[in-house]
Amino acid sequence: MAYIKFDDSKVSKFVQANELPEMQALVTAADQELRNGTGAGADFRGWLTLPTDYDHEEFARIQKAAEKIQQDSDVLVVIGIGGSYLGAKMAVDFLNGSFYNSKPKSERRGVQVVFTGNSLSASYLKELQDFVGDRDFSINVISKSGTTTEPSIAFRIFKEKLIKKYGQEEASRRIYATTDAKNGALRQEVEANGYESFIIPDGVGGRFSVLTPVGLLPIAATGADLNELMHGAADAAAAYQDADLSKNDAYRYAALRNILYRKGYVTELIENYEPNLRMFAEWWKQLMGESEGKDQKGIYPSSANFTTDLHSLGQYIQEGLRNLFETVVKVTKPPYNVDIPMEKDNLDGLNYLKGQTLNEVNDKAYEGVVLAHNDGGVPVLTVEIPDESEYSLGYLIYFFEVAVGISGYLNGINPFNQPGVEAYKQNMFALLGKPGYEELAAKLKKEID
């Protein structure tokens, strides 16, 4: 029996019975491209075998570093952007709940973990400095090059704060760098100052890097079980080997979303019914959008958090333009449950819920929403996981990673590059007066004027 339950029954009105079997030949070809390295972007398939083929010595060092951080720090400041931030933040929220950083130390498994370097907001950075205050803290700076603008600025500022508090020598012992093995500005700084460092593997792109040191150190700092996380991903890797669509739900998901895309369903909403999965949606949006949005093609990845967004986006989903479909990530057994109390006067009319729990009500909301949206012309897919454990998270991560690899090849693009990401950077550098961008700066100035 599959660990993840994939329910595609609510696309039967939109996909003919013959369509999925007829995708099998294309899926088999995409699988061969992915597994044999004959497809575009083959050098960035390291994530495929990562759950079992990783540096175990480095893995042990990550766990020891996390223990040291837990012993000498109250806060870990994680500095990174994109894949160097979203995966770790997603996992911290998924595994620890919405209010992890607000809990007293006695109720947390590890240190508070906060994130910066993911925007250019002075207000956010100042507020984060105030949050850290005079407490003991460490830094995990994550950057392949060490020159990405947002994290580089944040690192300068928090490094200065660290040095002022502890002095250069002790500050260097509290900085953990996750970067390239040999090259880049951050690697040079590591060698010059003796920071403990971890490697971003060459064959794993940023959006696939959560199960590398990029994600593992921040996750471990919260006290999470890294062994179970990797165990779940390894079991998923074994489960999703067969290209047969009747046996491989990750491939089936990839095939169905491509069938829907070709019918004009060009927007996919990833949805949840647990608020601590909101960052999972943010991680998923980068994974899907950066992998598939190129060559003027690709499904647009969006998200909604239910039941909250039913009171804002629900009207559009129900009756708006019929170009979207939904993928729900559902948790069978959330970590907590709450009984609904009775009231004598019953002014709010809720006494009919006598004997039911909030999780039961949430489940019925899910069922009602799926039926309503389906009747309104929206295809709905459901990916259901048993719980919010490390094992389940590892399994879920791999499900979507392998699905997007297949999905990209089905759509005839390279799912592992991101050539369009650099365009805004060039303009920003020119407008800021970075050396070497004078010609572009002059051109942009004329356009602005």
In Å, what is the CA distance from 248 to each residue of 239, 241, 268, 407? 7, 8, 21, 13
Tell me which H or E stretch contains 269. Answer: strand 267-272
The token duo for 394 is 């590892």
The model's pTM? 0.95
Residue that is written with structure tokens 């647009």 in the block: 300
Active site residue 401: no
3-class SS of residue 331:
strand
Active-site residue flag, 425? yes
Q: What is the pLDDT of residue 65?
A: 98
- The one catalytic residue among 103, 247, 425, 445: 425
E strand or H helix that includes residue 75: strand 75-79
Token pair 């550098």 is at which residue? 429
Residue ranges of the chain with pLDDT lower than 50? none
Q: Please name every residue paired with 178 in a beta bridge, in sequence order, or none if there are none.
A: 142, 198
Give the residue from 34, 28, 31, 62 showing the smallest Cα distance to 46. 34
User: Which position among 268, 274, 290, 390 bears the catalytic label?
Assistant: 290
Cα→Cα distances 50→142, 212, 350, 402, Å: 19, 8, 50, 12
**Residue 443: which H helix or E strand, with range?**
helix 438-448
- In sign, the C-alpha dihedral spanning 101, 106, 107, 109 is positive
* Backbone Cα Rg of the chain: 23
Query: In the β-sheet with 75-79, what is the strand arrangement from edge to edge?
Result: 112-116, 75-79, 137-142, 175-179, 196-199
Does the N-terminal peptide bond of residue 308 adopt cis geometry, omega within 30 degrees of 0? no
Tell me, what's the pLDDT at 421? 65
pLDDT for position 419: 80
Task: Please give the helix or strand (H or E) that residue 176 lies within, else none.
Answer: strand 175-179
Phi-psi region of 355 (alpha: psi -120 to 50; beta: other; left: phi over 0): left
Please give the Cα distance from 16 to 11 (Å, whole number): 9
Query: Do the beta carbons of residue 255 and residue 410 sit within 8 Å?
Result: yes
- pLDDT tens digits, one per residue of 399-421: 999 999 999 999 999 999 988 66
- Note the pLDDT of residue 234: 98
